[in-house]
């Protein structure tokens, strides 16, 4: 392992110990609709439901409404869930793969009891020891 990779892995673990919360990864079958979430999803019987530690954050962005509008801004938020790559590197995890588009993430109830379920819309891997999943909230009621 290269020196940088070792430092990156140690840093990822340290960040995780400070910021991670327990979540439940619920793998889903591919397919579905980009605009409408299927209630309950389509669970993948070949990939087990697993508890995992992850960092759950909202990325807040602001954009001007219209130039010359007196400084008005529109705020948007993106739900991001950050995983440490090492959780998916042992032989058992490799067999099932990492979270992917369409999979669901159940977040801790104490964070926000009303919005606990999210669906992964995009996965990003920058080659570091952590990777991100951009998610949308799913109404499971």
98-126 tens-digit pLDDT = 899 999 999 876 555 556 888 998 898 77
- Quick one: which of 65, 85, 62, 84 has its CA closest to 75? 62
Domain range summary for the chain, segments of one domain joined by +: 3-137
Q: Which residues contact 104 (CB under 8 A, 6 or more apart)?
A: 25, 26, 28, 41, 117, 118, 119, 120, 138
Instruction: Read off φ and ψ for residue 62, nearest 5 degrees.
Output: -130, 140
Where the chain has pLDDT below 70, the residues are: 1, 4, 16, 32-39, 59-77, 91-94, 109-115, 139-141
Q: What local confidence, expressed as pLDDT, does residue 103 receive?
A: 93
Query: pTM score > 0.85 for this model?
Result: no
Q: What local confidence, expressed as pLDDT, does residue 69 receive?
A: 58
Residue 120, beta-bridge partner list: 135
């Amino acid at each position: 392992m290269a020196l940088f990779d070792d430092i990156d892995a140690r840093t990822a673990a340290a960040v995780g110990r400070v910021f991670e919360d327990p979540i439940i990864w619920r793998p889903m079958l591919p397919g579905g609709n980009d605009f409408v979430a299927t209630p309950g999803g389509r669970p993948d019987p070949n990939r087990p439901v697993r508890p995992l530690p992850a960092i759950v954050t909202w990325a807040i962005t602001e954009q001007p409404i219209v130039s010359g509008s007196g400084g008005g801004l529109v705020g948007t938020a993106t739900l991001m869930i950050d995983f440490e790559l090492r959780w998916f590197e042992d032989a058992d995890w490799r067999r099932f793969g990492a979270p992917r588009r369409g999979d669901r993430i159940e977040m801790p109830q104490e964070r926000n009891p009303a919005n606990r379920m999210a669906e992964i819309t995009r996965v990003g891997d920058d080659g570091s020891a952590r990777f991100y999943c951009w998610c949308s909230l799913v109404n499971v009621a």
